[in-house]
Structure 1
Amino acid sequence: MKELLLADSYSSRGDRPMARGYAIVDKIPSVLRARSGMLMAAASRLGPLLVFVLWTMVTVVLPGSDEGGWQPSRLGTAAAVTEEEHCTVERRAHLTYPEFMQHYAFLKPVILQGLTDNSKFRALCSRENLLASFGDNVVRLSTANTYSYQKVDLPFQEYVEQLLHPQDPTSLGNDTLYFFGDNNFTEWAPLFQHYSPPPFRLLGTTPAYSFGIAGAGSGVPFHWHGPGFSEVIYGRKRWFLYPPEKTPEFHPNKTTLAWLQEIYPSLAPSARPLECTIQAGEALYFPDRWWHATLNLDTSVFISTFLG
């Protein structure tokens, strides 16, 4: 049976020890629950408002409490992957449009921070909210190899509840299906209208959205297309990028996870791509015709804005 993944379109600057943190955090929920029980017993005598405040203080530290119901990566899974040792893509907070045009628009990728507030859109993209609003919608998936042809239609709820899981490292790209660019914009308009894309445009282009959800270890192998932005709403997405004149070494029918495990370690430093992990709330700009591959480190929710 083919593995189905709703994910990256062809289109969470967390601390690096995050993955190791889970090994520690997973050991403490029972302690927190015991402590919360004592707090709640004491607070119940002081009124419901204090009960709510104390409960909020306890639950905010539980793992996954701010992941919108989407499963973060866990150590020990077959698809467990980590962030790069060194991010080689510039991060810019509050970049101006003249700076964007002069230094990045036609030259190199950049990670944008602090340009938009998508907190409302993020809330709408929680697992519970998306299933309630779009669970019956039929979504179209395409194969996750460099040259995609096969397509499969299925209800969004079926994908989320039954098929969203970490990537099998042995799966080929043509056995892994992604949702990329086939959004029904009429059906998804109630969601997309709340998204604020990066405010930068290129002359003669029109923005178009592509929305996706993908499991840990999934991703799209190297490909290229026109310029655009990709923002992570939940999770983390690792990117690998080469300029147009530098064709990467890769197999078009192998997944990014397989490439990372089999080819990446043998690359000379001069042959390695630009790379960085995009965190929730950040957006990556990729210029026209730049080769890029993606790898989701957690269950990730993301949206791309293509400048076509």
Structure 2
Amino acid sequence: MGSWWQFLLLSIPLSLPGDLDYLEGNGGWLTNKYLALMEEDHCTVERRDASLTYSQFIDQYAFSRPVVIQGLTDNSEFQALCTRNKLLAEFGDRVVRLSTANTYSYQKVDVPFQEYVEHLLKPQDLASLGSDTLYFFGDNNFTEWGSLFQKYMPPPFQIPGTSGAYSFGIAGSGSGVPFHWHGPGYSEVIFGRKRWFLYPPEKTPEFHPNKTTLSWLLDTYPFLPPEDRPVECTIHPGEVLYFPDRWWHATLNLDTSVFISTFLG
């Protein structure tokens, strides 16, 4: 990771002129390049390519450790449907449910999708608690969004005795969910980048459930001794991260990001 002050400069929502450069090739989900966040210096989650077999996945990862798999599926068709213009045209008048970005996501608010995209989809405010930050992840109406989800190709590796359930979301740079745990699953980024921090079930991380992942990264992460650092990695479009059952994890969207998770239960 870069120096703490350098990360801070790249994290604060500054008042900037409207004509500054934006990140390109992100499906119309623009992030001012000055508000994009940094990746870790070194990914500590093992990366595997599409040559990974199902038996290797079960033996080496399914019940023991996370893994990032590259090129496992081709979701270029799904990605083409997830551009800003395409989603607004198809789902702009649909109501979506926003959740607070804290560990337990207590509060839910329903708004039209277009209102969320045009007025609420912003970089994370450093002064806001996670319990005061709303963004769109999960709580999807599968009837209304079914035409989109039918085009998604989930990772083919199932855990015996489970079935998959989708959770689709769009979030601004600096947003994310602080540490929590649940059953196993996959996470794929369609546009943008998402940084993951993970701990095994027996190692409870130090965090405040109502503070944002960004505040944890700035206030707690730099002072962790090496033995208390999380396993971490940033995933990009075309990559899938698998997390095992009951692993603690927190997420941080480095850009405006479109993402989908497949929970196995």
Q: What TM-score do you get using the length of structure 1 for normalisation?
A: 0.78
Give, in whole Å, the separation in 2 of the partners of 1:161 and 1:214: 12
Give, in whole Å, the separation in 2 of the partners of 1:73 and 1:208: 33
Report how many residues are paired. Answer: 247
Aligned to 1:69: 28
Aligned to 1:24: none
Output the aligned Cα RMSD: 1.7
Unmatched segments (≥5 aa) in structure 1: 1-19, 21-28, 30-61
| Corresponding position: 1:82 with 2:38 | yes
Deviation of the 1:147 alpha carbon: 1.6
DSSP 3-state at the match of 2:117: helix
Give, in whole Å, the separation in 1 of the partners of 2:221 and 2:24: 34
Return the match for 2:180 from 216, 219, 223.
223
Give, in whole Å, the separation in 2 of the partners of 1:96 and 1:202: 14
| Corresponding position: 1:189 with 2:157 | no
Would you tell me which structure has more helix in proportion to its own residues?
Answer: 1
Unmatched segments (≥5 aa) in structure 2: 1-9, 11-18
Identical-pair percentage:
74
In the alignment, is the contact (CA less than 8 A) between 1:169 and 1:257 conserved in 2? yes
Aligned to 1:250: 207
Return the match for 2:68 from 92, 103, 111.
111
Aligned to 1:122: 79
In the alignment, is the contact (CA less than 8 A) between 2:170 and 2:258 conserved in 1? yes
The one-letter code sitting in structure 2 at the alignment partner of 1:198 is P
Give, in whole Å, the separation in 2 of the partners of 1:197 and 1:166: 28
Give, in whole Å, the separation in 1 of the partners of 2:105 and 2:216: 18
Give, in whole Å, the separation in 1 of the partners of 2:231 and 2:244: 13
The one-letter code sitting in structure 2 at the alignment partner of 1:253 is N
Give the 5 Å matches for 1:7-22. none
| Corresponding position: 1:171 with 2:136 | no
Aligned to 1:275: 232
Aligned to 2:171: 214
Aligned to 1:143: 100
Deviation of the 1:142 alpha carbon: 1.5
Aligned to 2:59: 102
Give, in whole Å, the separation in 2 of the partners of 1:91 and 1:73: 29
Give, in whole Å, the separation in 2 of the partners of 1:151 and 1:132: 24
In the alignment, is the contact (CA less than 8 A) between 2:22 and 2:30 conserved in 1? no
In the alignment, is the contact (CA less than 8 A) between 2:23 and 2:33 conserved in 1? no
The one-letter code sitting in structure 1 at the alignment partner of 2:33 is R
Max Rg structure: 1
In the alignment, is the contact (CA less than 8 A) between 1:146 and 1:253 conserved in 2? yes
Deviation of the 1:158 alpha carbon: 0.3
| Corresponding position: 1:152 with 2:106 | no
Give, in whole Å, the separation in 2 of the partners of 1:204 and 1:169: 42
Cα pair distance change 1:64/1:242, threshold 3 Å: same
Greater alpha carbon shift after TM alignment, 165-174 vs 284-293: 165-174
| 1:249-276 C-alpha deviation (Å, 9 max, x unpaired) | 0000100000000000000000000001
The one-letter code sitting in structure 2 at the alignment partner of 1:246 is K
Deviation of the 1:178 alpha carbon: 2.8
Give, in whole Å, the separation in 2 of the partners of 1:110 and 1:83: 17
The one-letter code sitting in structure 2 at the alignment partner of 1:143 is T
In the alignment, is the contact (CA less than 8 A) between 2:22 and 2:32 conserved in 1? no
Cα pair distance change 1:204/1:73, threshold 3 Å: farther
